[in-house]
């Protein structure tokens, strides 16, 4: 079974631009979560989508948004990029049920904002 895939793997953007990252979960997984990883703040939860609905949301500004499609693929969008948005963005998928707690992570998208 294929793992979690994320595209693109690397991205360089300029301040003020917007960016869209994509995540394809493991087949059959309905939950997709997004995390931002930086050296200073570590891993921080952005949001979780389950069956096309946002189920949980972390403490990030509204510039960070996401969505999930009917095939469970998810995208996250960051608008009006700031230098501080430079990070590794990780996506994780799981079956999503109440007791299905294992998350499987993708390789991440490395975003650099200049």
Partner 1 sequence: AQTVTQSQPEMSVQEAETVTLSCTYDTSESDYYLFWYKQPPSRQMILVIRQEAYKQQNATENRFSVNFQKAAKSFSLKISDSQLGDAAMYFCAYRSAYSGNQFYFGTGTSLTVIP
Per CB under 8 A, residues contacting partner 1 are 3, 31, 33, 35, 42-45, 48, 50, 55-56, 58, 90, 92, 94, 96, 98-99, 101-108
How far, in Å, CA of 43 to CA of 90, rounded? Answer: 9
- Alpha carbon of 51 to those of 42, 111, 114: distances in Å? 28, 27, 35
CB of 7 to partner 1, least distance (A): 15
Beta strands in the chain (DSSP E): 5-7, 10-13, 19-24, 31-38, 42-50, 53-57, 64-68, 74-78, 87-94, 104-105, 109-113
Q: Which is nearer to partner 1, 81 or 106 (CB)?
A: 106
CB of 82 to partner 1, least distance (A): 22
CB of 20 to partner 1, least distance (A): 22
CB of 90 to partner 1, least distance (A): 7
Q: Which is nearer to partner 1, 31 or 81 (CB)?
A: 31
Q: Which is nearer to partner 1, 14 or 98 (CB)?
A: 98
Q: Is 70 exposed, middle or buried (0-12, 13-18, 19+ CB in 10 A)?
A: exposed
Q: Which is nearer to partner 1, 81 or 89 (CB)?
A: 89
């Amino acid at each position: 079974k294929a793992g979690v895939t994320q595209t693109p793997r690397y991205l360089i953007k300029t301040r003020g631009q917007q960016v869209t990252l994509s995540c394809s979960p493991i087949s059959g997984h309905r939950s997709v979560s997004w995390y931002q990883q930086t050296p200073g703040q570590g891993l921080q939860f952005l949001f979780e989508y389950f069956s096309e609905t946002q189920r949980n949301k972390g403490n990030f500004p509204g510039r960070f948004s996401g969505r999930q499609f009917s095939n469970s693929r998810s995208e996250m969008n960051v608008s009006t990029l700031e230098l501080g948005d430079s990070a590794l963005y990780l996506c994780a998928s799981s079956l999503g049920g109440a007791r299905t707690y294992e998350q499987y992570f993708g390789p991440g998208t490395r975003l650099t904002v200049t």
